[in-house]
Amino acid sequence: MPAANSAHATVPRHVAIVMDGNGRWAKRRFMPRFFGHEQGMETLLRVIDVFAARGVQYLTVFAFSSENWKRPDEEVSGLMNLVLIGVAKYLKKLAAEGVRIRIVGDRAGVSDKLRAAWDEAEAGTAANTRIQLSVAFNYGGRWDVVQACQRAVADGLAPAQIDEAALAQRMALAFAPDPDLFIRTGGEMRVSNFLLWQTAYAELYFSNCLWPDFGAAEVDAALAAYAGRDRRFGGVRSAPEGVPQGA
Ligand code: FPP
């Protein structure tokens, strides 16, 4: 493993995750895809605590994309129900563990019942500070850029006032620093319209592990890979030539 690079904090402040592989995980067990999503939620519950224990302050996960409406009706309604089940079953536990929950995404497209569950989760954890969990639901990176532009126009900004800062303040994750580390499980090497704006300088990490199998060992492998990266943000190498820079 390459030596940790002193040019950046070795623990990422913000980790973003595409939790991929639930369907395949279930299929390998001759189970319906929804079973994989259920297990995926259990995995998420476990790893939040691991990331918090390692010092990560913000965790943003992709739970339902703007494009996931194309999935079979049964799977879509299953994922919606999973939010209701998750809030009913785990909200108290997460609140007690110091997790602050926010839902980021297009609220207009979901049911009143779901919006009420989200409101309950956000209100019930608003004072927590140990780790900030953002659940991207009915979210797309392109949607986020478009809605930020629409808000800038609605706020009366002139074209010359619409700069990076003006849009960043209106993006769905405006309260958080940009993700330092982007993790995708399940072996695919795509961003899939996740945080397009915010991951401009994120370190990318792809794991073959299917999301339901992701645990403390996989979290630590991803954090170790991150610690070895040379983050340059468009600048120059911080390590001398010939020193390995990590994956
Ligand atoms: C991608 O795997 C996963 C999703 C589209 C859903 C992710 C949701 C969870 C992990 C549950 C957590 C839910 C909440 C509400 C926090 P896939 O179905 O595309 O897997 P595949 O590539 O193997 O088919």
In the chain, what are the domains?
14-227 (3.40.1180.10)
Testing ligand 1's pocket by substitution, the residue of 19, 27, 34, 209 carrying the most ligand atoms inside 8 A of its CB is 19
89 confidence band (pLDDT: 50, 70, 90): very high
Q: Choose the weakest-confidence range: 22-36, 110-124, 230-244.
A: 230-244
Q: What are phi and psi of 157, to 5 degrees?
A: -70, 140
User: Are residues 183 and 60 in contact, defined by beta-carbon separation less than 8 angstroms?
Assistant: no
Q: How far is the CA of 147 from the centre of ligand 1 (A)?
A: 24
Q: Which residues are catalytic?
A: 20, 68
pLDDT in tens, 149-169: 999 999 999 999 999 999 999
Q: How far is CA 80 from CA 33, 38, 64, 75, 115, in A?
A: 14, 12, 9, 9, 11
pLDDT greater than 70 at residue 1: no
Mean pLDDT of 178-201: 98
User: 139 is written with which tokens?
Assistant: 């979210």
Check if 78 has its Cβ closer than 6 Å to any atom of ligand 1: no
> What's the chain's average pLDDT?
93
Query: What CA–CA distance (Å, rounded) separates 104 from 138?
Result: 8
Q: For the whole model, what pTM was predicted?
A: 0.92
DSSP-H helix ranges across the chain: 22-27, 33-54, 73-96, 112-125, 141-154, 164-168, 216-227
Predicted pLDDT at 6: 47
Residue closest by Cα to atom 11 of ligand 1:
41
